[in-house]
Amino acid sequence: MVDDGAEPSHCYGAESSRAAALHAAQGPGINGIQSSLESLELNHTNAAANEDGQMEEETKRHLNLVLIGHVDAGKSTAGGQILLLSGQVDKQTIKNYEEEAKKKRRESWYMAYIMDTNEEERLKGKTVEVGRAHFETENTRFTILDAPGHKCYIPNMIAGASQADIGVLVISARKGEFEAGYESGGQTREHVLLAKTLGVAKLIVVINKMDEPTVQWSKERYDEIEGKMVPFLKSSGYNVKKDVQFLPISGLCGTNMKTKMDKSICSWWDGPCLFDVLDHIEVPLCDHKGSVRMPIIGKYKDQGTVGTVLIGKLESGTITEGDSLLVMPNKSNVKVIGISLDERKVRCAGPGENVCVKLNGIEEEDIMGGFVLSSITNPVGAFAEFNAKLHILELLDNAVLSAGYKSVLHIHSVVEECEIVDLIEEINMKKMKEPYPKKKKPKGKLIFVKNNAVVVCRIRVIIWKLISTA
């Protein structure tokens, strides 16, 4: 486990910018929980290098976008349509997907096949792993992450959202489908809370399937959904006026996505289309001069060449060819011998970029997901225990959380079993909003908390406990 500060502390709540997420688990094993990102093999218009052999330098800003929402809201279809409209998929590929979908008697699923690439996802019509692809608008390069919406795959959704700068919350306008996602047990609410907790600062709420026969671009239905979502988004910590944008779309037809739709389709909509919102969205500036911090989400050995390639999102700092860095927590000194962005070689990469970094000085088997590539002068720290502020969303079987409670911990790309070793303080969020809240002396030792509580507690990573007692 790694952390930046000398006094480790991670927060799990709406106030934190890059937080720890706890997902309750039964039993000691965590096999199958750690997700892997599946890269799409798509045609890119940009070559890996110019004709004169010089490497390309990027001038457009880069943002990571995650598609979130309840199962069957149309996330993969909307993601596939984005890639089609931005020229990342050719017409022959779409034709092949249409024929494949017809053979499976799932004619309306063909657009989702662009993002859902494995056979299991296509047969079930459910995203399992986090699909990953790239597209560009006029001013911005995007990495698009398609997160699963089914409750069984929440850990994979966390893996996608933890890398994102902005989120696109896809909501189905079809009668009954919005209600299923919004009511208790639906993933619309949980995804919003997790996105805010994991540092997704901006949210675009797209009301999808507006062309559906039960909706037919009804303003009443759009207003009904927006009216229910706004109070919930506010309670989740979002500033709706500054950080949230609502708009209607049809992901299957591509309506109001790349270009603003005609009044003949929807007479009451005067707002922008999705691509305009994405291209002009403002996000907090990254720290180019900060210490290098790149959580590692993948690795591979480049066959026929020297070096090991690490994959991850550069959270802060800048990496340049020739840099000497440190892989933590095993303190391996490495040298950067190559950098790639979206399959293009570049000389340097800045914060916010999803990069492939080729290193000398370390072997593939010496690296694990969750390790961090960091600066030598200010390396990221390693620790066994830390304090965290937890917002308890839901405990299994209406249980209580107390010392000894075991869970699975998600921090950036780390997935580890952990144990609550002490409850320090329960926080009253209503009083926190007061200008000068009065602190009351605790009546006694905090023994347990229930659903919806906010608590400061101490967490121990179980693997470290096993090592220390071995």
How high is the pLDDT of residue 113? 64
Taking residues 167-176, what's their average pLDDT?
Answer: 93
For residue 88, pLDDT over 90 is answered with no
Going by pLDDT thresholds of 50, 70 and 90, the confidence category of residue 441 is: low
Residue extent(s) of CATH 2.40.30.10 domains in the chain: 2-8+384-469, 293-379
Going by pLDDT thresholds of 50, 70 and 90, the confidence category of residue 375 is: very high
How high is the pLDDT of residue 215? 95
Q: Higher model confidence: residue 438 or residue 13?
A: 438
Lowest mean pLDDT among 30-44, 55-69, 168-182, 398-412: 30-44
Q: Higher model confidence: residue 282 or residue 45?
A: 282
Taking residues 218-229, what's their average pLDDT?
Answer: 96
Q: Higher model confidence: residue 5 or residue 101?
A: 101
How high is the pLDDT of residue 436? 52
Average pLDDT score over the chain: 78
Q: How confident is the model over 100-146, as pLDDT tens digits?
A: 767 766 666 666 666 666 555 555 555 555 667 888 888 888 988 87
Q: How confident is the model over 307-359, as pLDDT tens digits?
A: 899 988 898 999 999 999 999 998 999 999 999 987 788 999 988 888 899 99
Residue extent(s) of CATH 3.40.50.300 domains in the chain: 60-280
Q: How confident is the model over 145-159, as pLDDT tens digits?
A: 877 656 666 777 777
Lowest mean pLDDT among 205-209, 267-271, 381-385: 381-385
Taking residues 382-396, what's their average pLDDT?
Answer: 85
Q: How confident is the model over 251-295, as pLDDT tens digits?
A: 989 999 999 999 999 999 999 999 999 999 988 777 788 899 999
How high is the pLDDT of residue 37? 37
For residue 304, pLDDT over 60 is answered with yes
What is the CATH topology of the domain spanning 2-8+384-469?
Elongation Factor Tu (Ef-tu); domain 3 (2.40.30)
Taking residues 372-393, what's their average pLDDT?
Answer: 89
CATH level 2 (architecture), domain 293-379: Beta Barrel (2.40)
Q: Mind spelling out the 3-state secondary structure of the chain?
A: CEECCCCCEEEECCCCCCCEEEEECCCCCCCCCCCCEEECCCCCCCCCCCCCCCCCCCCCEEEEEEEECCCCCCHHHHHHHHHHHCCCCCHHHHHHHHHHHHHCCCHHHHHHHHCCCCHHHHHHCCCCCEEEEEEECCCEEEEEEECCCCHHHHHHHHHHHCCCCEEEEEEECCCCHHHHHHCCCCHHHHHHHHHHHCCCCEEEEEEECCCCCCCCCCHHHHHHHHHHHHHHHHHCCCCHHHHEEEEECECCCCECCCCCCCCCCCCCCCCCCHHHHHHHCCCCCCCCCCCCEEEEEEEEECCCCCCEEEEEECCECCEECCCEEEEECCCEEEEEEEEEECCEEECEECCCCEEEEEEECCCHHHCCCCCEEEECCCCCEECCEEEEEEECCCCHHHCCEECCCEEEEEECCEEEEEEEEEEEEEECHHHHCCCCCCCCCCCCCCCEECCCCEEEEEEEEHHHHHHHHC
How high is the pLDDT of residue 344? 83
- Closest CA relative to residue 142, chosen from 63, 254, 220: 63
How high is the pLDDT of residue 109? 60
CATH level 2 (architecture), domain 60-280: 3-Layer(aba) Sandwich (3.40)
